[in-house]
Amino acid sequence: MPDDQNNQKTRKRKVQPENPEPIADKPKPIRKNVRRKKEPTEALEASPKKPRRSRKVDAKTNSEILQGLQDIDLADLKNLDDDKAAALLRLIAQIEAEKNKGDSDSEDEEDNKPQIPDILPILPLKDTVVYPLTVFPLAVGQERSIRLIEEVVGIGGDRLVGLVAQKNIEQEQAGPDDSFKIGTVALVHKLLKVPDGSIRLAVQGIEKIEVLEYIQTEPYLKARIRIIQDVEETGVEVEALMRNSITLFQRLVSLVPQIPDELLMAAINIEQPRQLAYLIGTSVRMDLEQRQEILETVNVREKLEKLNAFLTKELEVLELGRKIQSQVQEELNKSQREYFLREQLKALQKELGEEDPQVAEINQLRETLQKSHIPAEGRREAERELDRLSRLPPAAAEYGVIKTYLDWLVSLPWNKTTENALDIIKARQTLDEDHYDLEKVKERILEYLAVRKLRLERQKAAQAVAEAVPSESLAEDDPTHRPPTFEEVHHYTGPREPILCFVGPPGVGKTSLGQSIARALGRKFTRMSLGGMRDEAEIRGHRRTYIGAMPGRIIQALRRAESSDPVFMLDEVDKIGMDYRGDPSSALLEVLDPEQNSDFRDHYLDVPFDLSKVMFIATANLLDPIPAPLRDRMEILTLSGYTEDEKVKIAFNYLIPKMLKANALTEEDAVFEEAAVHRLVREYTREAGVRNLEREIATVLRKVARTVAEGNTEKTLINEAKVTELLGKQRYFYDVAERTQQPGVATGLAVTEVGGDILFIEATRMPGSKNLMVTGQLGDVMRESVQAALSYVRSRATHLGIEPAFFEKNDIHIHIPAGAIPKDGPSAGITITTAIVSLLTGRSVHGDIAMTGEITLRGKVLPIGGVKEKVLAARRAGLKTVILPKMNERDLDDLTPELRQEITFVLVDNIDEVLEAALNKPGEHNLPLNGVDLEPIKNGKEDNEVVTKPKSRKKQ
């Protein structure tokens, strides 16, 4: 059966020598400070010219070493730590052996050795190799091992036992095949039984043995063995190896405090290389395989070589560990030194009457906190954090976090407003100075100002009356003696700020209108772009538990504005994203809800902040992408775009003066003719706003500025010819009439992110079998409109004059050009139907007509949205007639008188009325933009005959 010399697995330490088995019930280790002795080093470094000192053990020296150790009994070792006790045991036995040898110089060493029989009891050891000529402590706990030891040391026993190492330290019952063949025969010196039933003993290795065969396995192992003699060599090489081993061992002892200095002295006094190798091999930490390899090596010189290689590597590891520990200790000492110096500095400052910088900083924060208008809840939180800050050292990790938090709290504009006296007339003048037209928006702002002004005036009057009333009558209005009012129940503190949303294409002045509103109100202006925002923490902030946490962008913008009632512009609210980090649009619900934003809690601040005084204005290009709950909280104001005449007026009133100043020019250097601006609008831009028009004006004036800089002092007159000269050839053309000359092409109207636009719907046919193909990157709704249009045409084929069998032999392909642009919506239904009927009947569509409207399977035309944007797009394209659903007649009131005068509107209720107004009569020529009929193109050339009488249409 395998033996367990420790009952628990031997602990391995990285930078300590191999420790012997621990004694049971290990007490607290008692460290003895042993002063390092330099005599061994000096002996090793002696000049080689001097006679070599005899390595024979000095009896007087051994007596001095033994003076304090000879009374130590095995039972007393429990007062020492495991490593110290084991080292002392080995040292005692080693010195006793050397002492006996020195006292009996006349006796032969072989006579002192016990007689080793050929058959020995075998004790397997776990993770332990006992060398000859060394002493080692063992712990025996298994029943068979205890019986073996008792018989060996009992009456008639020779106290000899064979010690072999187990191959697998995890195995509890080691058999003949589970142990190494090479081991050591040892003499049991001392024996001690402990209360837990195990035995503690000290063994002294005598000779190396080889297990030839096992002859007994029960009750314990017995085997036939033979003695193996190590081959010892002499010479300079062996002497050098011994000296190098002692030097390396000396360095190791200086690095490992668990190895006593007496063990080093014993190693220095050994003159036999075999004994030196075994002593050092027992004292240092090695793996089981390495220790077994040294034992099995027969040649002593090879033992020393392997031992030297191991000691060199172990020293490198230990020295590197000491270097790392030294660096850590230096950093620790530096921190401690700084702490002591800082405490001394505090004491000196206290003696000199100077204030500690940390205390001064905290006092300044406390003073700022007292002067601020933080609400009660926020003040309590700030004072609590300030008390924590005062108890923390500046080097603490939380110090900076708390200080940053307090800086944010005291720097916010809790009760700071910037609104001046309300002047309705001045506000109207300010809005007119900055923007042309936009009457609906201006009226809404002026209404808000009027209500606010009236409320403030009447509140002051009511307050003056209340002050004149005697105090006795005021007691009757005590809230405790009457039912609560609506304001008290709903915490109503005043009029809610409007939350507006400007919806319109780019360049119509949404953002600049917000700036004008702030100027008219006398408030600060701040803005935040929401385009591409995907993290909810951008709105509500990060919690303070995160590293680098900051308040949300709402709170950050208010601190920059230094006001609690700014005009806050939320740009691109229709372009908010959403991902795994949250939904910012949902976080905006609290911000833009008048019933909730008076108690807005940022995650970082975690105290309520009143946003009800802030006037939020959102901007968007399209209304559909805005989530319905968010859209419901805002008042929608649409900015559709400008007509050509409006753009010309905007150019003369705003853009040209602005660009003259931007390019360092005056009216004495350049002047625009009205016709030139019309040409810029018509031939060089095509947009709902005026952003590109501003760029083109800037381009013209930059070229003029160059001529002025070159020395031209004459005023430059910018007319139509000059525009063409400076900007080059025309960029936009009106080709609607040419594209609709062929049957199967109709002009529709749509609303995009850049405003209204026209789109051409083309239909063609080819031999096939009733297949329908749709191309042009269309959405699902538009594809359904195509299918509905085709179904209607097929159901009314006979009525429309189409051969019913046509669908049996042909395929129809519907295509909407500009395929890179996504398109969707139901408003193209009547346009698709018109294109299909035009294709199948051979009747082309009038060249100056555009149309929009949704169609049903019964041919009913349903109303659509975006009428003004679509009409403006038709006007920009040069179209004269627009077909609209009859239910959209009410939307014509939103158009300017000039636009209603220029465009002919045909209001329809069903598809038959659409086809009647849009398609040419059989044999009738196409109608171009100038209002005259042209002959169809024949063989690629235009006929010279022109019919000058246009088709008359009724104006609505």
510 marked ligand binding residue: yes
Q: Assess whether 870 carries a catalytic annotation.
A: yes
Place of tokens 């009913």: 860
506 marked ligand binding residue: yes
Cβ neighbour number for residue 234 with a 10 Å cutoff: 10
Residues 121, 309: Cα–Cα separation, whole Å = 35
CA atoms within a 13 Å half-sphere pointing along the CA-CB vector of 426: 9
How many Å separate Cα 436 from the centre of its chain?
Answer: 45
Residues 132, 590: Cα–Cα separation, whole Å = 85
Residue pair 564/416 in contact by the 8 Å Cβ criterion: yes
Q: Assess whether 323 carries a catalytic annotation.
A: no
Helix H or strand E encompassing 243: helix 236-255
505 marked ligand binding residue: yes
Give me 420's structure tokens: 């001046």
Residues 498, 727: Cα–Cα separation, whole Å = 44
Helix H or strand E encompassing 862: strand 861-862
Place of tokens 């014993």: 266
Residue pair 914/834 in contact by the 8 Å Cβ criterion: yes
217 marked ligand binding residue: no
Residue pair 13/130 in contact by the 8 Å Cβ criterion: no
Q: At what angle do helices 273-283 and 300-352 cross, to 10 degrees?
A: 40
Strand 881-885 with 849-851, pairing: parallel
Residue pair 696/735 in contact by the 8 Å Cβ criterion: no
Residues 477, 458: Cα–Cα separation, whole Å = 19
508 marked ligand binding residue: yes
Give me 271's structure tokens: 């003159």
Q: Which of 198, 564, 827, 838 is catalytic?
A: 827
175 marked ligand binding residue: no
Place of tokens 């024979």: 56
Place of tokens 């929608």: 636
For the chain, the residue count is 956
For the chain, first and last CA: distance in Å? Answer: 115
Exposed, middle or buried: residue 515 (CB in 10 Å: 0-12, 13-18, 19+)? middle
Give me 137's structure tokens: 């402590």
DSSP structural state of residue 184: E
Give me 616's structure tokens: 């939020």
Residue pair 258/16 in contact by the 8 Å Cβ criterion: yes
Residues 758, 653: Cα–Cα separation, whole Å = 29
Cβ neighbour number for residue 471 with a 10 Å cutoff: 6
Place of tokens 């206290």: 350
Residue pair 409/395 in contact by the 8 Å Cβ criterion: no
Alpha helices in 740-828 (DSSP H): 780-795, 806-809
Residue pair 920/843 in contact by the 8 Å Cβ criterion: yes
Give me 254's structure tokens: 């200086």
Peptide bond into 219 cis (omega under 30): yes
Give me 563's structure tokens: 């006001």
Write the CA distances from 476 to 461, 483, 606, integer angstroms: 20, 12, 39
DSSP structural state of residue 952: P
* Closest listed residue to residue 140, CA positions, set 161, 120, 119, 157: 161
Give me 757's structure tokens: 């636009």
Residue pair 854/866 in contact by the 8 Å Cβ criterion: no
Q: Which of 84, 303, 442, 870 is catalytic?
A: 870
Residue pair 287/274 in contact by the 8 Å Cβ criterion: no
Cβ neighbour number for residue 521 with a 10 Å cutoff: 23
Give me 453's structure tokens: 């002004």
Q: Which residues are annotated as a binding site?
A: 504-511
Q: Which residues are annotated as a binding site for ATP?
A: 504-511
Give catalytic residues, as residue numbers: 827, 870
